Amino acid sequence: MLAFEILQGIIGLLGTLLFVLIQGMVFAFAYLLIFVGGTGLGKNASARRKRGSWLLARFREREREREVRFADIIGLEEAKLELEQLVDILKRPAPYRAIGAETPRGVLLVGPPGTGKTMIARAIANEAGVPFFSLAAADFANMFLGVGSQRIRQIYRKARRHPRAIVFIDEIEVLAKARGTNLGTFEGDSNTLNAFLNELDGFEVNSSVITIGATNLEDQVDAAVMRPGRLDWQIYIGPPAEADREKLFRTYLALTQSSADPLAAAKLAVNFTPAEIRRAVNEAALLAVRAGHAQLDNADLAAAIDKVSATLERRSGTFVMSRSGDLSVRMGDVIGCDEAKGEVQEYIDFLRSPDRYRRIGAKVPRGFLFVGPPGTGKTLLAKAIANEAGVPFYSLSGADFTEVWVGLGAARVRQVYRQARKHKAAIVFIDEIDALAARRGLDMSGEADRTLNQFLVELDGFGRSNVLTIGATNRLDSLDPAVLRPGRLDRTVTVPLPDLDAREQLFAYYLRNVQAAPGIQCRQLARASWNLSGAEIAASVNEASFIALRDGHEQITQFDLNQGIERVAFGMNSRRKVNAEDRRLVAIHEAGHAVVEHHARPLRILHKLTIIPNLEGTAGYSWSVSDEEQLSFETRESIRAELQVLFGGRVAEELFYGTITTGAGADLQRAASLAHRYVWQLGMSDDFLADYDQVALEAASGRMISEQTKQRLDRAVEALLREAKEQTRSILQEHSEEHARLTAALLERESLYGDDILRVLRGEALEAAERSAFQDKGDG
């Protein structure tokens, strides 16, 4: 045993000597670069002189960093205020000892990389006027057994030679990795951690050495390090707020030739750290030189911010706010969900002044759930709430918490809420929350259930918490009921598809940002975009801009916008060639739909009729819209009329083509499904209304419906379909001339729109086809 300890000591001594030797060689090399290079000795003296000057400038910059004070650090006011007491303890320990207070042995600074943890630790030492021993935890990682623990003892031995001192350990999670989390952990790692814990404990109640650790992976730090009496102060060092980002941009831009606006840059660089802001300014300077600019401008800086944002990896240990550039969105920018905005206004008031609500005894719910189809603005509304209230916004996806590693999902939930609670008020937004809060018992491994249980614990919270949780989903039925109980996400806010007025407002909003021709009729666009979400309307305007450019337009026209809507709603047109006989068949089929639509549903507007196939497999289509928004109620007459329209293509083939084809297959399936719902679910059959209540009662009670009853229902469905088909035949026979004119016009033009369709039906002549060239080549 004694021999082993002697050998361990020799190995440790050799490792230390090797470390000192390498360090000495580095400084010697630097000396040669600066001073020998500066004298002009040897070849290429000028180049060496430049390299030496650069290195000397870096050394001077490092010296300035060593002299940093709290006043030199922009932002982090809460952290600096908390650390001022630590500075006072280092400056005046006697009053604290006299009153019997035990001075803290250590502080853990937690935050994303580049937020200034090292700088603020050095500022503490400078403010207190004490020696500062700075180390990286990687300095202790060594393959030789015992070397790491020996280095720990050496550094603390040096620190204790001073009346007061600070030992700073960066990336402390490498040194103090949670034990049992890594199967490949070397025995020496545990020995090093144990030595570190012994030094933290010390033998004095009031130690003269204060240890400061820094990490961005808080959950990887061993719990023993953070217990009381060790690193028992934990302070969050987060990304700067907008005002602080502006100051940082102003500071770094002052060192360059710049005309850029610091405030505009601060709004773009959402959640950038000081290090990332510095990098963005440097990138902007490089871009400006590359472009031949005399000074960097707003465009250079915006491009640099985008470049830095694109190269930053997602931080797995410390979750931060979303980097999306639309965090400046306000309630006025959210269109189409006025009821939902009114519902959440009280939450905004609460986040602005929570004390006013508490004084009156009001308990504002801890969270609420946005429910609605994709693209309706749920995420946008959540961001608007945060910006109106002026609170941090943590944007996450439910998939962020689903991991293959056991325990990581629950750990990430804790990290998010721990960080959010460091603020006076904050919003945690979880999109696609059904991935996190799905019904329990469906996961065989149990990991999803553990993650959900931790989420429920965080929702319940302890004591006062100004963290508001907002979830968003389009699958309400898949959520675990425990998430929706009172005290959790207990208020559900529906964010529906926009109605006619909202769609008109959305088109007007998005057209403000493009070059649109005068006289655009947003009302007509709103009618044409029935059942489209806000995101799809935005996509339609964007598609219209591409169509306009392809056609050589300098402005987006009404026709381009309708083409954009069609592209989003029906997909991209196909370029494949169609033979003459197939074109004639499709024209007869689609003209049949249009004629029946015109006479069976006169309140609907025929918007477009086309025989151009698309990539979805459709050979052509008839597109009609409603003049006004309608409620979801359907009458018997409207359902029967829809059945007639569905039969329009099939009956037209029989009457005017002489046979039937597979082209009407999808129409017949829809007609059969609608007729079945009409009879079985809605009880609207003429000869079966009296018995429908009894059938519904039998179905609700779980009893089997008799075969006789089923046969009666099926006969009612069959009779309804036969009746609809005969009525369709009567319409087409009566208006066969209209059908013939419409078929001929389709073969000539391939696509017909609104007013032109009505002119053909009335027998009026059409104007010259100005868009035929575009229609021939499709919108591919």
Indicate whether 95 and 48 sit together in one domain: no
Indicate whether 183 and 266 sit together in one domain: no
Q: Of the candidates 435, 436, 477, which has an alpha carbon nearest to the alpha carbon of residue 459?
A: 436
Indicate whether 489 and 373 sit together in one domain: yes
**Percent of all residues in the chain with a pLDDT value above 70, rounded to a whole number:** 77
Averaging pLDDT over each range in 334-343, 382-391, 533-542, which range is the top one?
533-542
Residue 249: pLDDT band with limits 50, 70, 90: very high
Q: Check which CATH number belongs to the domain holding 383 and give it.
A: 3.40.50.300
Residue 20: pLDDT band with limits 50, 70, 90: very low
DSSP assignment of 100-150: TPPPP-EEEEE--TTSSHHHHHHHHHHHHT--EEEEEGGGG--SSTTHHHH
The catalytic residue positions are 590
Q: What angle do CA 555, 556, 562 make, to 5 degrees?
A: 165
Mean pLDDT on 523-552: 90
Indicate whether 337 and 475 sit together in one domain: yes
Strand-pair partners of 438: 479
Mean pLDDT on 434-451: 77
Secondary structure class of 163 (helix, strand, coil): coil
- Asked whether 511 and 522 are in contact (CB, 8 A), the reply is yes
pLDDT tens, residue by residue, 258-292: 889 998 888 888 778 888 898 999 999 988 888 88
Report which residue type is found at 770.
Answer: E
Averaging pLDDT over each range in 42-56, 481-495, 629-643, which range is the top one?
481-495
pLDDT on residue 53: 43
DSSP assignment of 551-614: TT-SSB-HHHHHHHHHHHHH-PBP-----HHHHHHHHHHHHHHHHHHHHH-TTEEEEEEE---B
Q: Which one is predicted more confidently, 602 or 270? A: 602
Distance of alpha carbon 118 from alpha carbon 133, whole angstroms: 12
Does residue 558 lie in a domain region?
A: yes
- Residue 235 backbone phi and psi in degrees, to 5: -125, 130
Indicate whether 482 and 401 sit together in one domain: yes
Domain final position from 512, 547, 570: 570
- DSSP letter at 625? E
**Percent of all residues in the chain with a pLDDT value above 90, rounded to a whole number:** 15
Residue 320 has pLDDT above 50, yes or no: no
Within 353-439, residue ranges assigned H as helices are 354-360, 378-389, 408-420
Residue 506: pLDDT band with limits 50, 70, 90: very high
Residue 442 has pLDDT above 80, yes or no: no
pLDDT on residue 536: 92
Residue 527 burial class via C-beta count within 10 angstroms: exposed 0-12, middle 13-18, buried 19 and up: buried
pLDDT tens, residue by residue, 677-689: 888 777 777 655 4
Residue 341 has pLDDT above 90, yes or no: no
Secondary structure class of 235 (helix, strand, coil): strand
| The 604-610 sheet, strands edge to edge | 621-626, 604-610, 751-753
- DSSP letter at 70? G
Distance of alpha carbon 18 from alpha carbon 16, whole angstroms: 5
Among 66-80, 183-197, 440-454, whose mean pLDDT is lowest? 183-197
Mean pLDDT on 149-178: 84
State the residue for tokens 């060594």: 142
Residue range of the domain that includes 185: 72-236
Indicate whether 504 and 479 sit together in one domain: no
Q: Which one is predicted more confidently, 1 or 541? A: 541
Does residue 721 lie in a domain region?
A: yes
Residue 51: pLDDT band with limits 50, 70, 90: very low
Report which residue type is found at 545.
Answer: S
Residue 529 has pLDDT above 80, yes or no: yes
Report which residue type is found at 197.
Answer: L
Q: Check which CATH number belongs to the domain holding 642 and give it.
A: 1.20.58.760
Parallel, antiparallel or unpaired: strands 604-610 and 751-753 = antiparallel
Indicate whether 188 and 207 sit together in one domain: yes
Residue 21: pLDDT band with limits 50, 70, 90: low
Does residue 655 lie in a domain region?
A: yes
Indicate whether 469 and 363 sit together in one domain: yes
Among 152-166, 192-206, 500-514, 573-587, whose mean pLDDT is lowest? 192-206
Does residue 462 lie in a domain region?
A: yes
What is the total residue count of the chain? Answer: 780
pLDDT on residue 369: 92
Domain final position from 494, 527, 560: 494
Distance of alpha carbon 586 from alpha carbon 746, whole angstroms: 9
Q: Which one is predicted more confidently, 461 or 516? A: 516
Secondary structure class of 210 (helix, strand, coil): strand
Does residue 97 lie in a domain region?
A: yes
Domain final position from 494, 524, 548: 494
Q: What is the 3-state secondary structure (H, E, C) of 511-564?
A: HCCCCECCCCCHHHHHHHCCCCCHHHHHHHHHHHHHHHHHCCCCCECHHHHHHH
Give pTM, 2 decimals.
0.63
Distance of alpha carbon 288 from alpha carbon 11, whole angstroms: 54
Q: Check which CATH number belongs to the domain holding 540 and give it.
A: 1.10.8.60
Mean pLDDT of the chain: 78
Residue 27 has pLDDT above 60, yes or no: no
State the residue for tokens 């024209």: 587
Distance of alpha carbon 301 from alpha carbon 285, whole angstroms: 8
Indicate whether 544 and 413 sit together in one domain: no
- Asked whether 232 and 106 are in contact (CB, 8 A), the reply is yes
Distance of alpha carbon 353 from alpha carbon 374, whole angstroms: 32
Residue 677 burial class via C-beta count within 10 angstroms: exposed 0-12, middle 13-18, buried 19 and up: middle
Indicate whether 609 and 745 sit together in one domain: yes
Does residue 241 lie in a domain region?
A: no
Indicate whether 530 and 485 sit together in one domain: no
- Asked whether 211 and 86 are in contact (CB, 8 A), the reply is no
pLDDT on residue 730: 94
pLDDT on residue 28: 46
- DSSP letter at 499? -
Q: Name the strand (E) or helix (H) holding 429.
A: strand 426-431
Those residues with Cβ within 8 angstroms of residue 659's Cβ, 6 or more apart along the chain or in another chain: 653
Among 49-53, 308-312, 752-756, whose mean pLDDT is lowest? 49-53
Residue 45 has pLDDT above 70, yes or no: no
Indicate whether 389 and 277 sit together in one domain: no
Distances from the Cα of 419 to the Cαs of 389, 413, 425, 488, 777, in angstroms? 18, 10, 11, 19, 56
Count of domains observed in the chain:
6
Among 11-20, 555-564, 566-575, 641-650, whose mean pLDDT is lowest? 11-20
